């Protein structure tokens, strides 16, 4: 077994530890209504962005520096 084989084994072990930790991590709860404007956050956004707290429009304004929470 050469150094490349050992490196591959270590990389596989590290990836397995990462996947195990990721599976055990709690999934953040998404808000149903936007924290900023109060409108409902679409289900597709809540499913696609775990833990989301703002609607797309408000998040865009936040990222542009126009809106603060």
CA-to-CA distance for 21 and 16, rounded, in angstroms?
Answer: 9
Q: Report yes or no: 50 and 25 within 8 Å, Cβ to Cβ.
A: no
Q: Report yes or no: 33 and 42 within 8 Å, Cβ to Cβ.
A: no
Lowest mean pLDDT among 9-13, 15-19, 24-28, 51-55: 24-28
pLDDT tens for residues 20-61?
A: 998 898 889 999 999 999 999 999 999 999 999 999 999 999
pTM above 0.95, yes or no: no
For 10, the token pair is 């270590």
Q: What is the pLDDT of residue 17?
A: 96
Q: What is the pLDDT of residue 69?
A: 79
End-to-end CA distance of the chain: 56
Q: What is the pLDDT of residue 13?
A: 97
């Amino acid at each position: 077994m050469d150094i490349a084989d050992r490196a591959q084994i270590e990389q596989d072990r590290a990836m397995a530890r990462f996947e195990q930790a990721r599976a055990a991590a709690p999934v953040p709860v998404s808000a149903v209504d936007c924290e900023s404007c109060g409108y409902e956050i679409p289900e597709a956004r809540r499913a696609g962005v775990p833990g989301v707290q703002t609607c797309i429009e408000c998040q865009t304004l936040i990222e542009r520096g126009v809106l603060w929470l």
